[in-house]
């Protein structure tokens, strides 16, 4: 066994011992679900990027040239802590500048004399990987700092070549491909000084945690700064955060969790349907009545996506596209770009395919299949985005959910989570609205993320393969 492997083995044992110790002490008041430090008494917000003590004195001028003049609240709180080397956990809603809050400190701390990876930013989706990398590259370019995005669904060659030259200082990556390249010896984490989890809530609740734990085990455990940023931080992931940071971090909360803003701002309604066979007819009626200009339709499975794509194309003349987790990266990017540019007005997707999408001005989200995990309802309706109206005001779009009577148990759990009753409308085939779902019992939820699961509703539909050359 080489000395490096011995070292890694010792680090892993230390990590495992510490993890066991954290689990044993989690019930104590000190670790009762909340981090060790809080922000209100120790963070002093700043009013200008010039007020920050940067190592690279040119950085505020670079930010100013990119129209970043006054820091947002999360930036003014997080950046000084990050520059001070502290572990930071920041929760702030979408659109408040979280990406810049970790990008600027990372670039400021990069040592140009070290020709190796010094910072790793992990993200849950390919789309977010590209978005973060573009932002970081724009700020890093004046300092001749190189950024490389690493994600699956594309050829390895470009990513391997970028790492082989030894000129990459910042890597933005999805965990799976990051581990692949590490196992092929294209990545060396020994020089990494900063690790960031962007959209930390989804990184820790989407089944990524084993991969994240493995990556952390490969990192040097001394003098590595850890930062986590998210629009929502649920109670359930606080213990995972505490384990990752060894309980040593400063928590920043700007406003409420994003889900609380979403629920308050979005117009919501549900259609209750007696017969599952009438579900599609209800969707057709909704589209005809609402006339959505920019609509995202969610199903739980790939079969559901394919079914709706074919049926809607048969019944409507406007362009409709579908996106599931099994499409190629090139096609995904084409679909997303066309949807953003309003060349496509209706997009049908699964949760897996849609994660990480940042698409403005979506007028309607239609939840065709009720998610069995209530948190996924929040993630879905949050895609409505903020609508920029002609009078300069901003508002949220509209969310519509379709549910069959035997799905009311899941609706009840959603309403309990969002602390409101979603207004009910009568769907096709329903003569009278049912009573409250309270007290009904249903089966235990299955994972919505399994988009390949069978669905009897679509089992009888004869699918024809898509034209592979369309995208």
Are the C-beta atoms of 401 and 371 separated by less than 8 Å?
no
Asked if the structure places residue 464 within a domain, the reply is: no
Gap between the Cα atoms of 422 and 401, Å rounded: 9
Residue whose entry in the numeric block shows the structure tokens 């969310």: 399
Pick from 216, 233, 250: which is nearest to 122 by CA? Answer: 216
Q: Rounded to an integer, what distance in angstroms lies between the CA atom of residue 273 and that of residue 276?
A: 7
The per-residue pLDDT for 189 is 93
CA end-to-end distance (rounded Å), the chain? 49
Residue 324 lies in a domain: yes
| 258: phi then psi, degrees, rounded to nearest 5 | -60, -30
Q: Are residues 435 and 321 in the same domain?
A: yes
What pLDDT score was predicted for residue 457? 52
Does residue 443 share a domain with residue 300? yes
CATH code of 423's domain: 3.40.50.300
Do 25 and 135 lie in one domain? The reply is: yes
Is residue 304 domain-shared with residue 245, that is, in the same domain? no
What is the reported pLDDT for 386?
A: 55
Task: Output the pLDDT for position 351.
Answer: 75
Among 200, 234, 255, the domain boundary falls at: 255
Q: How far apart (Å, rounded) are the C-alpha atoms in residues 274 and 49?
A: 58
CB 371 within 8 A of CB 238: no
List of E strands, 175-314: 194-198, 225-230, 250-254, 267-273, 295-298
Q: Is residue 357 part of a domain?
A: yes
- Assigned domain for 463 exists: no
The reported pLDDT for the residue numbered 54 is 95
Does residue 270 sit in the same domain as residue 246? no
The answer to whether residues 251 and 298 belong to one domain is: no
- For the chain, 471 residues long, the average pLDDT of each consecutive 10-residue run is 42 43 35 38 70 94 93 93 94 87 96 93 90 94 95 89 90 94 93 93 74 89 89 75 86 72 79 91 94 91 91 89 76 84 89 63 92 81 64 72 92 88 73 41 46 50 34 26
Identify each DSSP E strand in 246-304 by its residue range: 250-254, 267-273, 295-298
Domain residues for 454? 260-458
Q: Which residues contact 373 (CB under 8 A, 6 or more apart)?
A: 445, 447, 448
Distance of CA 428 to the CA centre of its chain: 34
Residue 467 within any structural domain of the chain: no
Q: Which two tokens stand for residue 278?
A: 């009438």
**248 plus 274 within the same structural domain:** no
Both 217 and 319 in one domain: the answer is: no
| Residue 409, pLDDT score | 92
Q: Does some domain include residue 101?
A: yes
Enumerate the β-bridge partners of residue 322: 348
Of 400, 328, 327, which is closest to residue 362 (Cα–Cα)?
400
Where a domain ends, among 255, 282, 305?
A: 255
The number of distinct structural domains making up the chain is: 2
Give the per-residue pLDDT at 30. Answer: 30
Q: What is the pLDDT of residue 201?
A: 81
Q: Of the residues 255, 281, 313, which one is the last residue of a structural domain?
A: 255
Residues 52 and 194 in one domain: yes
Instruction: Flag whether 389 is in a domain.
Output: yes
Give residue 332's pLDDT: 78
- Per the domain annotation, does 59 fall within a domain? yes
DSSP-assigned letter for residue 37: B
Chain Cα centroid distance, residue 315:
33
For residues 334 and 351, membership in a common domain is answered with: yes
Within this chain, do residues 191 and 229 fall inside the same structural domain, yes or no?
yes
């Amino acid at each position: 066994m080489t000395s490096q492997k011995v070292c890694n083995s010792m680090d892993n044992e230390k990590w495992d011992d510490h993890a066991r110790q954290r689990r044993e002490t989690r019930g104590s008041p000190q670790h009762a679900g909340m981090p060790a430090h809080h922000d209100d008494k120790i963070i002093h917000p700043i009013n200008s990027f010039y007020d920050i003590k940067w190592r690279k004195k040119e950085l505020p001028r670079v930010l100013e040239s990119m129209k970043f003049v006054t820091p947002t609240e999360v930036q003014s709180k997080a950046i000084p802590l990050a520059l001070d080397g502290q572990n930071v956990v920041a929760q702030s809603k979408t659109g408040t500048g979280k990406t810049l809050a970790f990008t600027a400190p990372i670039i400021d701390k990069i040592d140009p004399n070290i020709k190796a990876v010094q910072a790793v930013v992990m993200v849950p989706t390919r789309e977010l990987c590209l978005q973060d990398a573009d932002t970081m590259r724009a700020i890093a370019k004046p300092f001749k700092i190189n950024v490389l995005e690493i994600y699956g669904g594309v050829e390895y060659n470009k990513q391997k070549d970028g790492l082989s030259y030894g000129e990459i200082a910042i890597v933005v990556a999805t965990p799976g491909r990051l581990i692949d390249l590490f196992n092929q010896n294209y990545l060396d984490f020994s020089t990494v000084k900063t690790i960031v989890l962007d959209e930390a809530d989804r990184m820790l609740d989407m089944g990524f945690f084993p991969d994240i734990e493995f990556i952390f085990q490969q990192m040097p455990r001394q003098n590595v700064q850890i930062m986590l940023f998210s629009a929502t931080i649920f109670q359930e992931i606080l213990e995972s955060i505490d384990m990752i940071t060894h309980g040593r971090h400063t928590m920043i909360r700007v406003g409420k969790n994003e889900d609380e803003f979403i629920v308050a701002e979005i117009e919501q309604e549900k259609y209750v349907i007696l017969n599952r066979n009438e579900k599609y007819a209800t969707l057709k009626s909704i589209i005809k009545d609402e006339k959505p200009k920019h609509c995202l339709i969610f199903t739980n499975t790939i079969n559901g996506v394919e079914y709706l794509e074919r049926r809607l194309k048969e019944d409507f003349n406007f362009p409709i596209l579908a996106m599931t987790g099994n499409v190629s990266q090139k096609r995904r990017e084409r679909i997303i770009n066309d949807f953003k540019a309003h060349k496509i007005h209706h997009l049908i997707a699964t949760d897996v395919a849609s994660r990480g999408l940042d698409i403005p001005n979506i007028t309607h989200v239609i939840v065709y299949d009720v998610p069995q995990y209530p948190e996924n309802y929040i993630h879905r309706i949050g895609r409505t985005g903020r609508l920029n109206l002609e009078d300069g005001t901003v508002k949220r779009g509209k969310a519509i959910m379709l549910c069959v009577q035997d799905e009311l148990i899941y609706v009840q759990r959603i309403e309990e989570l969002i602390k409101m009753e979603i207004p009910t409308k009568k769907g096709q085939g329903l003569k009278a609205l049912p009573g409250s779902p309270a007290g009904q019992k249903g089966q235990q939820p299955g994972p919505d993320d399994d988009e390949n699961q069978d669905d009897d509703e679509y089992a009888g539909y004869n699918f024809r393969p898509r034209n592979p050359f369309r995208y």
